[in-house]
């Protein structure tokens, strides 16, 4: 009996493993993690808008950052976020590599055919994804890494926030550099193209297609892929112009 149960369990695990490494399994994982990251971006943007919503020397943003880094639920969610970013990136690279190998010597001819009837963002999702992954690494080193490991960040001196760091000052110093501002704005353009295809593709992969609802999903996806990256791009521009005394 025990041997039979073990065999059934092993069979299920083996089937699940094969599913996860199959093309359809990888696409489903890409879709689910992508939808999670899409939701996260909205929350992240709402928080980051505190950087420019008021001239309060960073009080609102530092309060938000303190809450996000000290709330146990948010901290647990953050671990999932990091895991999903890595998983999404790995699955994307694996799918891109598998598709590239499958096309073989015909990949250039296929690219031409697909360009005639498909979205360019769809064709270049792999390349876009790798550029975005590079941006995420730079972004994490620039902010998350310094927040946790740098000794040069001063304290956030406000009542009730003992031990908090002045993360607003870190962001403001970063966006005093026009090179960093341009880098972040260009990165948001890449993210916009990635989302333009990825938003609706995630629903399609999960089989959530209906002649009544699909046009609405596409419309929401297009609006989202423009407004959310635009919101992120506006932040460094406004902070730079404020530092220059223009605003």
Q: 165 has which bridge partners?
A: 155
Provide the pLDDT confidence category of residue 93 given band limits of 50, 70 and 90.
confident
Which SS3 state, helix, strand or coil, does residue 212 take?
A: coil
**How far is residue 128's CA from residue 111's CA, in Å, rounded to a whole number?**
16
Which SS3 state, helix, strand or coil, does residue 155 take?
A: strand
Above 70 in pLDDT, residue 234? Answer: yes
pLDDT tens-digit readout, 154-175: 899 888 888 889 999 999 999 9
User: Quick one: pLDDT at residue 118?
Assistant: 45
pTM for the full model? 0.80
Rg, the chain, Cα only: 22
Q: Which domains does the chain have, with CATH numbers?
A: 25-100+119-244 (1.20.1300.10)
pLDDT tens-digit readout, 181-232: 999 999 999 999 989 888 888 888 777 777 778 888 889 999 999 999 999 9
């Amino acid at each position: 009996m025990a041997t039979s149960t073990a065999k059934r369990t092993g069979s299920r695990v083996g089937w699940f493993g094969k599913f996860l490494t199959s093309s359809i399994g990888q696409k489903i994982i890409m879709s689910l993690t992508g939808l999670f990251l899409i939701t996260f971006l909205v929350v992240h943007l709402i928080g980051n808008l505190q950087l420019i919503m008021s001239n309060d020397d960073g009080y609102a943003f530092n309060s938000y950052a303190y809450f996000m880094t000290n709330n146990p639920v948010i901290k647990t969610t953050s671990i999932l976020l990091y895991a999903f970013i890595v998983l999404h990136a790995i699955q994307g690279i694996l799918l891109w590599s598998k598709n590239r190998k499958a096309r073989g010597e015909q990949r250039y001819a296929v690219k031409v055919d697909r360009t005639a009837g498909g979205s360019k963002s769809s064709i270049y999702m792999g390349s876009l994804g790798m550029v975005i992954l590079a941006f995420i690494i730079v972004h994490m080193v620039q902010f998350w890494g310094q927040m946790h490991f740098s000794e040069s960040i001063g304290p956030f001196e406000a009542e009730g926030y003992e031990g908090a760091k002045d993360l607003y000052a870190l962001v403001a110093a970063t966006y005093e550099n026009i090179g960093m501002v341009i880098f972040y704005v260009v990165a948001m353009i890449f993210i916009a193209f990635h989302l333009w295809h990825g938003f609706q593709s995630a629903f399609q992969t999960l089989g959530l297609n209906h002649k009544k609802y699909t046009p609405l999903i596409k419309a929401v996806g297009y609006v989202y892929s423009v407004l959310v990256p635009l919101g992120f791009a506006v932040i460094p521009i406004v902070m730079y112009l404020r530092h220059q005394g223009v605003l």
